[in-house]
Structure 1
């Protein structure tokens, strides 16, 4: 009995120990189930691949595929909503996979269709490997390649042996790529080429968003659109609207013209905008423009530049630099033979060239007559000469000045070598004629006054001062811009020895020398220095002929009074006595029109 009891106790102890082990295992299992899991999709292993139909089915137990069911003739499979048809197949029921051959056609819903010559489908991994003449249709997109792997779990198709995506007018080609059927986004890598109508994009890596038809280019890329070529390393291109957003120091080239900027917004045949260190270059006309903001419309020919704009002209031996706060361009009769443009620069215009400097408040250049007009206190310097007036017009020929016209309060000053004395000419207007950029003749018209210092030919010392007044004067210049001869009509002149010049005659009444305002170099054009208060040109009102006007009310009263006097039988003589002196003649004229003519016949009656 004792042995039986001990045996039962041992038996019960083993059971308790076994139950404890089971409880401990269950507790660990619960803890494992409660542990955080990764968010990766888990491939289901439940549903199997079903063979729906085949004209012929057989086994080859001693062949190469003993585990396969060999099916032929209108073969059809179904797996989780996907339908696969082919001419023949190996069906591996144990591994839940299929090898399909001949006219393979896979359909998923009503939006996706895939055709190829052969394919392998793994039902456990939900992965299809399609080979040879693969065509994937998804909505309105078509992907053509020779090797494609389609992952049903992640809705992603990968091709790696060259592929073409067709989206309406867009055609994308690359060596490798992937296409997401759920988000309809595509990625293309290596030798990528996008053709959209006549536009061609070439790059190394491209992301394409199908719903918006937007291509994102990464790495060195090029967009060719007609005669325009875009170079960028980071750009977005909308194939529907032909809009491009370019970043990373991009460049737009159109024949001989180019625009480079940190950011460019380009619209084909529309408005383009550049931000950040924008550089515009016209190689044909040899000029350029730099600024931090540029806007230009190809359809209207309207342009706008601001934020430190600088126009640069290097068509001559010396480069011209011009700066203003704002620059605008207007195009007239665009796309015609009579096209011409106007460029407006304002305010605070400053220009520098080694042989010429200028300042003014505003400037207008008209390509129709090649005229550059400077407004509001313009000043021009050339070597030791200064010219100013109310308005200065410079007419160009191939970027070379041929004629200059100073209008209103014209003043020309030449500083002598001693930097103390000045040759001066003032008049109502001045005209200067140039030949190959060299001044040949200057004409001063209207109220001409001159102060001219005569020098000794041997040592160039000052001999005397000649003060002259006339109506018109012409000065002809020879080689090295030396005065050759002077022509003038009737004049009055006074010669003063240099030691006997009255203090009031050294300078003309309107003398002004603005050396401190003169730009020193190309960097000095950004520092505006205007005329100080009181040194600006004073506006002079033009003389107008006095005009007389008759008031309508007084004429009406005179007419009524004349008619009343005629009706009462008064004579012209009596009416003239009672009428005001200022209206006698007018009233008499009106009475003669109203009163009947007196003839001999009437007198007899």
Structure 2
């Protein structure tokens, strides 16, 4: 009876092995063969009955084969009727380059699925990425694994991703993480709703609510991508970036970590907490070292001024292209630095003081003095500036470097030796010794080290074409504007116009404004300066016309002005609040003093002519100087004439410290202790300075 039972067991085992087909095997035959479960190896196999069900019990180094997949275990119970295998002990599933291990599985044959359960289930792919969980189902036909109730994956470089559920596809070489996803990679931290990780190309794609951290920097968006091999990141959908000094918004962001280059597109805003400025644009390109920012697509710049009383006023500036960059002083082109120095020195000259000290007309009156010199240097320096869109370096080579070598007429170095008449060079140190001197020390003392390079950081600002500026009391328009901190002079080109307190209009061929101690100190009008001040709309206008003018400022108000080089002026005089007379003046020099914006007195100098006319006798032509052109319609009447872009309120207070920073609870469970040190370091950072700085921008 016992022998019969053993014989039946052997026949049942053999019946599970397919007959080897004769001739070639086609695809259908191969699939049929793979779909059958075969026991390749075991120390012992026998039939057992448990709870009324018959099982084939396999014990000792068992190996099954199904769908080209090998199942290794210590023991197994195979239910042929219900078509499943319960395997226990040292479980391994090997399929090509994918390895799965665990304590126990239930292999459901019709579903081609191995259901791993145990205190630790591990999947290792061909790239040595290790996925750990407690619950994992692996489809041997599709080569796809599903995990749930939490899992974490770590690669050979120490990068880690975790989520509640997910899957792995061996054919696609891709991990999908779904629900409460957290990622650590190359000092970057991310959380999102869903993450797809391409193991072959090492690309992570983020979907849903995405947030990232790098040092003290944070980013949030609706989706993104991280290309690890080339260190490039791309984010889209409501992108928000927060650093210690900056806060940025955009529709999309591209960032290259290797070159520290950023490219932002779509409704861009950059909030600078250090310089108290805001940049708005449709496109922003930013290089970190050396620092350079380029704004395109209706860009605008907003700066916030605050006076001693704490009253704030914003300045809005726009143009077709705005460029801002910094350089070390030692890297600035020598011609640019020399032109800036010349401009600054010329700007500090006071023509009226020169006249008083010399007792003769100021040289500026003829158009050839300091003011004119500043104009010439302004033109020379502007030719050295790059045009808009010059990328990416702000360094400018000489106009023709080859011409320098042509101008050098170096003598033949051999001819120097012919002029030497020292018969014995050894006699030289002897003569020094006779004087008690050491020739070696003398040579060393004669060497002077070159001065260290000037690494002072200087800034440049360029606004190109259709420039508009709005401040509550001053408005400006011109074609282009250039500024550098080397001379702290803003230069306006091509028909610049300025409006002051709405009723005053100022024109010239070009203008310059000197800033000292971060406040406006002087303004210069070069060539065809014309000042118009409206006294009565449509009828009476005070007018001053001269080749050049200089305005001096105190507390942001004009305290004095000088008109140079041949002045013509018209002033309307009122009696009992009624304008009755027009005074016309001509002179070589004119200077006026103002207090609280009101004209106190005017001094006329050299070749003075004066006429007075009753206003009722004046024709339209007689009441206007030549080239009079009052154009209030060109004035930017509000900040919306400069830019229609809105300004977003800071989100710094709600973002720091972030409540969403990952805790990596699954990573800590399955890779115990790995993330503890990193988390402790992050938790120890308290960037409270961020919260303090945001207060300035709350009420923009």
TM-score by length of 1: 0.72
Corresponding residue for residue 212 of structure 2: 223
Q: Residue 266 of structure 2 is aligned with which of 272, 276, 289?
A: 276
- Bigger helix share: 2
Choose which of 370, 376, 380 in structure 1 pairs with 2:498: 380
Match of 1:442 among 534, 537, 561: 561
**Number of equivalences:** 480
Change (3 A) 1:346 1:154: same
Asked if the contact 2:64/2:72 (under 8 Å) is kept, the reply is yes
Whether the 8 Å contact between 1:224 and 1:230 is mirrored in structure 2 is: yes
Q: Aligned in 2, Cα 1:332/1:184: closer, same or farther, shift over 3 Å?
A: same
1:453 to 560, 569, 572: 572
Inter-CA distance 182–386: structure 2 relative to 1 (3 Å threshold): same
Report the CA distance between 1:357 and its aligned residue: 1.6
CA shift, 1:526, in A, is 7.3
Matches within 5 A, 1:294-309: 294-309=284-299
For structure 2, list consecutive stretches of 5 or more residues without a partner in the other structure: 1-30, 307-311, 332-453, 645-700
2:637 to 503, 520, 528: 520
C-alpha distance in structure 2 between counterparts of 1:343 and 1:60, whole Å: 87
Once residues 418 and 166 of structure 1 are traced to their aligned partners in structure 2, the CA distance between those partners, rounded to angstroms, is: 76
Task: Show the counterpart of 2:379.
Answer: none
**Separation of aligned partners in 1, 2:151 and 2:305:** 50
CA distance in 2 between partners of 1:78 and 1:325 (Å): 69
Distance 1:43 1:143, change over 3 A: farther
**Aligned partners of 1:122 and 1:362: how far apart in 2?**
75
The 1:161/1:441 distance shift into structure 2, 3 A limit, reads same
2:477 counterpart residue number: 359
Tell whether 2:487 aligns with 1:498.
no
Give 1:422's match in structure 2, choosing from 525, 536, 541. Answer: 541
Q: Against the structure 1 CA distance between its residues 426 and 125, is the aligned structure 2 distance closer, same or farther, given a 3 Å change threshold?
A: same
Measured after TM superposition, the shift of residue 213 of structure 1 is 1.9
1:478 is matched with which residue: 584, 595, 604? 595
Partner residue, 2:325: 330
Q: 1:345 aligns with which of 426, 438, 463?
A: 463
2:111 paired residue among 107, 125, 128? 125
Equivalent residues of 1:440, 1:477 under 8 A apart = yes
What are the Cα deviations for residues 341-395 of structure 1, in whole angstroms up to 9, with x where unaligned?
A: 3222221222233322211111113244443211011110112111122221123
Q: Does the aligned pair in 1 maintain the 2:317–2:470 contact within 8 Å?
A: yes
Are 2:569 and 2:586, in contact at CA under 8 Å, matched by a contact in 1? yes
Superposed CA RMSD: 3.1
* Match status 1:86 vs 2:205: no
Deviations 1:76-117 (A, max 9, x none): 4343433333333334455553322232222222x1111112
Deviation, structure 1 residue 119: 1.8
Give the deviation of 1:404 after TM superposition. 1.6
Q: Is the 8 A contact 1:127 1:150 kept in 2?
A: yes
Question: How far did 1:191 drift?
Answer: 0.9
**Deviations 1:516-539, CA, capped at 9 Å, x for gaps:** 322333343479xxxxxxxxxxxx
> Where does 1:578-593 land on structure 2 (aligned, <5 Å)?
none
Greater relative CO, 1 or 2 (CA 8 Å, sep 6+): 2
Give 1:103's aligned residue. 90
Asked if the contact 2:461–2:483 (Cα under 8 Å) also holds between the matched residues in 1, the reply is yes
2:527 maps to 1:408: yes
| Aligned-partner Cα distance in 1 for 2:33–2:148 | 27
Residues 46/319 of structure 1: CA separation in 2 closer, same or farther (3 Å cut): closer
1-structure distance, mates of 2:126, 2:615: 100
Q: Deviations over 1:167-194 (max 9, x none)?
A: 3443211111111111112221111011
Q: 2:261, 2:287 within 8 Å by CA — same for their partners in 1? A: yes
Aligned equivalents of 1:311 and 1:461: distance in 2? 42
What is the rounded CA distance, in whole Å, between the counterparts of 1:397 and 1:103 in structure 2? Answer: 79
CA spacing shift, 1:120–1:233, aligned 2, 3 Å: same
Determine the structure 2 residue equivalent to 1:48. 37
The 5 A counterparts of 1:54-69 are 54=43, 61=49, 67-69=54-56
Structure with greater proportional strand content: 1
Given the two structures, how large is their TM-score scaled by the length of structure 2? Answer: 0.62
What's the counterpart of residue 282 of structure 2? 292
Partner of 1:27: none
Task: Please state whether the residue corresponding to 1:516 is helix, strand or coil.
Answer: helix
Is this contact kept in 1: 2:321–2:463, CA < 8 A?
A: yes
Looking at structure 1, the residues matched to 67 and 564 of structure 2 have their Cα atoms a distance apart, in angstroms, of 99
What CA distance in whole angstroms lies between the structure 1 residues aligned with 2:487 and 2:134? 64
1:158 match: 146
Deviation, structure 1 residue 128: 0.8
Whose Rg is larger? 1
Q: Distance in 2 between matches of 1:195 and 1:43?
A: 44
Aligned equivalent of 1:251: 240
2:130 corresponds, among 123, 142, 147, to 142
Aligned counterparts of 1:522 and 1:462: Cα–Cα separation in 2: 38
Kindly provide the CA deviation profile for residues 551-590 of structure 1, in whole angstroms up to 9, marking residues without a partner as x: xxxxxxxxxxxxxxxxxxxxxxxxxxxxxxxxxxxxxxxx
Say if 2:273 is the partner of 1:264: no
Which has the larger displacement, 141-150 or 43-52?
43-52
2:465 maps to 1:465: no
Is the 2:580–2:615 Cα contact (8 Å) retained in structure 1?
no
1:402-437 CA distance string (max 9 Å, x none): 322222222222221354222222333322222222
CA distance in 2, matches of 1:196, 1:371: 46
Structure 1 range deviating more: 167-176 or 299-308? 299-308
Counterpart contact for 1:451–1:468, Cα < 8 Å:
no
Q: What is the CA–CA distance in structure 1 between the aligned matches of 2:32 and 2:556, rounded to whole Å?
A: 83
